[in-house]
A and B are shown apart, each in its own frame.
Chain A
């Protein structure tokens, strides 16, 4: 069955370190998204991609970067982790915006 997976599921890192969260989907979807979810804010869009070599900034992109070298993967990199980036991160993919987005299981990141 097609699926979308994130790794790691849990990560603790120190302030200032570079961290990469992986997202892999086998739906062959062109659209992929990264969100963070915080209490009181809901899901906020970090970056998104329409397809290979395409990346776009979302609502809260500062301190984050993504790259899209193939259809299946959209890794999210925190260039220099900050405590404010402690959050639950969700990756999602969709065929188009008139169909549902499928979410990964989430990654709980703690920056200490």
Chain B
């Protein structure tokens, strides 16, 4: 079982819709959770991070964390073509200075 699992996609949504990206992790000791966006040929850049159960909102983005079920999700409201990218879920365990990444979900927003 991979430590961090994501559906590679592509996930296609129409412009203006809500895109829902999901990630599950295997280490119950994980404490910090990150969503990175990576455009084709570019480096990953942080979209959001979340540490506590529940929702965290930042503009059109909402991160949701459920530690009991070991999943974290990213919602993108009012999706735009510029949101088309690969979204990487990343997880860290307290005390370990490293991050484990999922393979990423490719999102396509159709105009």
Q: How many A-B residue pairs have CB under 8 A?
A: 51
Interface members, chain B 1-23 (any A CB < 8 Å): 8
Contact for B100 among A31, A45, A90, CB less than 8 A: A45
Nearest Cβ distance between residue A92 and chain B, in whole angstroms?
A: 8
Q: Mask for B26-43, Cβ within 8 A of A = 1, else 0?
A: 000000101000000011
Instruction: Report which B residues bind A (CB closer than 8 A).
Output: 8, 32, 34, 42-46, 49, 51, 88, 92, 94, 96-104
Given contacts A45-B98, A100-B46, A105-B42, 5 further A-B pairs with CB under 8 A are: A42-B101, A96-B97, A97-B96, A98-B49, A99-B49
What are 26 sample pairs from A and B whose C-beta atoms fall under 8 A apart? A31-B97, A33-B98, A33-B99, A40-B8, A41-B103, A42-B101, A42-B104, A43-B88, A45-B98, A45-B99, A45-B100, A48-B97, A90-B43, A96-B97, A97-B32, A97-B94, A97-B96, A97-B98, A98-B51, A98-B92, A100-B46, A101-B99, A103-B43, A103-B45, A104-B43, A106-B43
